[in-house]
Structure 1
Amino acid sequence: MVLAEAPLPTRPMKPAHRDGNVLRWLIAHTASLIGDSVYFAALAWSAQRSAGPTEVGLVMAAGAAPRALLMLGGGVLADRLDPRRLLLGSDTVRCLLILAVAGAVALTTPALWLLVAVALVFGAVDALFVPAVGALPPRITTPDQLARITGLRSLSMRLGQIAGPPLGGLAMGLGGPAAAFTAAGLLFALSLPLLLSLRISPLPTPSGEAPAPTAAPRPGRARAELVDGLRYIRRHPLIGPLVAAGAVCELGLTGTLNVGMVLLNAERGWGPSGYGLIISCFGGGAAASAVLLAVAGRLPRAGLTMAGTLLAGSVGAAAMGLVPHLGTAAAVAALVGLAAGVFGSLDATLIQTTADPAYLGRVTSVMMLTMVGLAPLGYPLVGAAIGLWGAGPVFLGCGALSCLGAVLALASPAVRSAELPR
């Protein structure tokens, strides 16, 4: 099958949130994200039926290892090959894999080794999917619309987090894990015709000319391109500090907001309902930031705004470990979500609009590796530290670490002067 690349107009007639081409990509991406959530729910429930709590944790963690190990290689492929082909291929594999598992679960209780194998394959496919998602937006619109696309993508992620678990629970209630796996597979299938219908354009080289076709990378060549991509990030005056700031932010805040928040609620006696309220407020603040960027399309003084919101979010996260009342903690969580959402969207948009198109997949893979590979390593450390010293000091320490990300960003003249395209 030949996927033709039709040139897009130099300036879109409509903003991204009214562009049918962008909306088809957004619906396909949202369907895949909801499918992810349903799949994880079905996988956990299947593991719980056939094994104990320790094995459930093993199954759920199995997919993280190949995702982290192969993510950088997926970035190389996203730069060398058509990112839409990678998206189509990964969603096709996920669809067939999950529908096959649905059939197996319907016939018999799956063995633990089968669930681990499914998680490993799914994680490996995700290592191709994630960099391709980051490399595709510049090929479906123009640079002045990328901030809107980042906001729309953030909204899509929030919708996946909100809609996926209830849909998975409904499917399991009606037909057990087999029905949940089937629902996930059908959601992956829904994205395929939408991705096929996208109009994409070849990315220009820095000189403005279309890049020449390239052959698939050989193993040695792929390794050299990976090293070249890492060197490009390190030497770039803007992208290097942006990636570093994002990595430090993830290391400081991810464990605090995921593991620390549960333990903080237990320490304060707020219970599961309090935890749900705080997480909902955080998600609402993040969703508000996504709407802001999707509609506005551009924020002035983007570099300074990005660093300022990172600093504000870090201070707010540190303060959450000190507030004594649930209502105050929920309000602070909403502000942290708003600040973190603006920071993350501006960070990603500045990278997408600044990076040489030939390196965009590798840059995206490095960014995502921090989120799915490095940041989760801090979960046990955060839990152990709160067990020793309590939530307040740990939240303060993690917030201070995240503030270092803002310091790194503000120390860069390129970041302080960075602007989004008009």
Structure 2
Amino acid sequence: MAKPGAVTEPRGAAGVAPGAEASRAGKALPAPFLGLVAAMGLSSFGDAVWLIALSVTLVGTAGPALAGLVLALGSLPKVLTLLVGGAVADRTGPRRVLITTDLVRAGAMLGGAAAVLLVGPSLPLLAGLIVVMAVASAFFIPASDALRPNLLPAEHLVRGNAVYLAAVRGGQAAGGALGSWLAGLGGLVTVAAVNGVSFLVSAIAAGNTKTLTSKEPRQRVKLRQLGKEIAEGARYVARRPALRTAMIVTGLLELSGAGPINLGLVLLGGTQGAGWLLTAMTLGASLAFVVSVKWPPREKAGRLATAGLAAQVGCLALLATGNLAVGIAAFFTLGLVAGLTALVLVSLAQRWSAKEMRGRVMSILALFTLAATPIGNLLIGVLVEALGVPLTMFAHAAVALVALALLVATPALGRAALTEEKKS
């Protein structure tokens, strides 16, 4: 019988008995899951191209200042509705939410393409599309994170997460690299139509997946109870020290790296060096996914997260030197360790959450992650003005050091394992 507060649960991530999980050991990732991964990569590519085409169109329609304001405000609906998305995923089932949000985004993109073709790219129309896509994304993110443990045996969860995230980020990178060319080639209408088709493909792939357990819940969403269910999710996290600390550590991890990784590229590398720093970061992140797919962290997952955070503290401190060669090495290492640490923390949050609470738990984790980026970008700007670049880098290292201290002070997190629990 498991002890209260144990690192792992008596049953697998998807509620499958350990013996059943063991029988699946060594098998490849399920083909329907790999199909979903490929579809997610495709839709991420379409999203990246759409963002570039949208930005170009907004600047041409409303001017740079108003375009920037619209894009910035357009991200608020995602943050404001994330917790609602998690609660809905728990009530109606994450797979069903995934399919629905993909269909909504497909309809928005195809309808938007038709509207732009007929009446032109007016600012209200584009702003409406931005809001619809942001809200749909807020429902999609926690549903996606909650669904993966239901599709994969526990021993494949980390590897599956790594493959999934690699496809998503690979699609984003490819879309970013080719976005300007494709947007210029086809224009906003063509890009929106292609993006809409990619969401239809994604919806079909999500519908083709098979969960490891019984059917998902199929309860009706009751608007009056959503607030109560969101609060229930918050209490669920607050009452579990290891899970609560994992959330805080994730937020601090993102906060310490967001500014240096985004604005720091130019502050540290200048116009010519920024490309080298970005390339180093990308290579490090790519290596992290290769390593986690080939050798997924299991028995020593918590120790890997501890080592990764310690390395992040050192790398951020080294950026204070202002040396480009040191910066390239530090950015490569940051890409490697930040990717591995985040992968471990996400996988632990999935494993430690009861199936009926997982959507809400993952929405809280996503909120910590998404909120850290704008706060981090704002923070680095203020600190550079007040303290200069070297002291600003030390300040970010201090934030990562706080995260490391919290992790070390929580043995259940620092010694966590992503393996099946042995009966005691």
Query: What TM-score does the superposition give when structure 1 sets the normalisation length?
Result: 0.90
1:120 alignment partner, one of 122, 127, 131? 131
Other structure's SS at 1:238 match:
helix
- Check if 1:253 corresponds to 2:252: no
For 1:41, the equivalent position in structure 2 comes to 52
Q: Which letter maps to 1:263?
A: L
TM-superposed CA distance for 1:374, in Å, is 4.1
Moved over 6 A (4+): none
Contact 2:318 2:326 in 1 (8 A): no
Q: What residue is the counterpart of 1:342 in the other structure?
A: 340
- Counterpart of 2:84 (choices 73, 80, 87) is 73
Aligned equivalent of 1:295: 294
Question: In the alignment, which residue of structure 2 is the partner of 1:206?
Answer: none
Asked if structure 2 preserves the Cα contact closer than 8 Å seen for 1:67 and 1:372, the reply is no
* Mapped pair 1:147 → 2:158: yes
Give, in whole Å, the separation in 2 of the partners of 1:16 and 1:328.
42
Aligned match of 2:382: 384
2:250–2:369 CA contact under 8 A, matched in 1: no
Q: Choose the corresponding residue for 1:234, options 231, 238, 243.
A: 238
- CA drift of 1:317 comes to 2.1
CA RMSD of aligned residues (A): 2.2
Question: 2:266: which partner in 1?
Answer: 262
Whole-angstrom distance in 2 between the partners of 1:197 and 1:13:
20
Q: How far apart are residue 254 of structure 1 and its match?
A: 1.0
| 1:264-314 CA distance string (max 9 Å, x none) | 233xxxx1x421221121121112111111122334321122122112113
Structure 2 residue matching 1:330: 3-state secondary structure: helix
CA distance in 2: counterparts of 1:291 and 1:226, whole angstroms: 36
For 1:170-200, what per-residue CA distance to the aligned partner results, in whole angstroms no more than 9, with x for missing partners?
3222122222222222221221221121112
Pair 1:165-2:164 in alignment: no
Code of the residue aligned with 1:89 in structure 2: it is T
For 1:376-415, list aligned pairs within 5 A. Answer: 376-415=374-413
Aligned equivalents of 2:47, 2:73: Cα separation in 1? 15
* Distance in 2, Cα, partners of 1:313 & 1:400: 10
Report if the CA contact (8 A) 2:299-2:416 is conserved.
no
Is the contact between residue 268 and residue 327 of structure 2 (CA under 8 Å) also seen in structure 1? no
Q: Distance in 1 between matches of 2:211 and 2:162?
A: 20
AA at the equivalent of 1:373 = A
Which of residues 215, 225, 236 is equivalent to 2:229? 225
Partner of 1:373: 371
Conservation of the 8 A alpha-carbon contact between 1:144 and 1:420: yes
Matching residue's letter, 1:377? I
Inter-CA distance 87–403: structure 2 relative to 1 (3 Å threshold): same
Percent of pairs with identical residues: 28
Structure 2 CA distance for aligned equivalents of residues 331 and 28 of structure 1? 34
TM (normalized to structure 2)?
Answer: 0.89
- Partner of residue 283, structure 2: 284
Partners of 1:140 and 1:86 lie apart in 2 by 15
Q: What letter is aligned with 1:355?
A: S
Q: Is the 8 A contact 1:299 1:420 kept in 2?
A: yes
Q: Distance in 2 between matches of 1:111 and 1:213?
A: 41
Instruction: Output the CA distance in 2 between the equivalents of 1:40 and 1:84.
Output: 26
Of 104, 108, 113, the match for 1:93: 104
Q: Tell me how far 1:169 sits from its aligned partner.
A: 2.1
Match of 2:141 among 130, 155, 161: 130
Which residue of 166, 185, 208 maps to 1:174? Answer: 185
Question: Deviations 1:218-255 (Å, cap 9, x if unpaired)?
Answer: 23322111111111111113211111111111222212
Match of 2:12 in 1: none
**CA distances 1:3-24 after superposition (whole Å, capped 9, x unpaired):** xxxx997457575754312201
Consecutive unaligned residues in structure 1, runs of 5 or more: 1-6, 203-209
* Number of residue pairs aligned between Structure 1 and Structure 2: 404
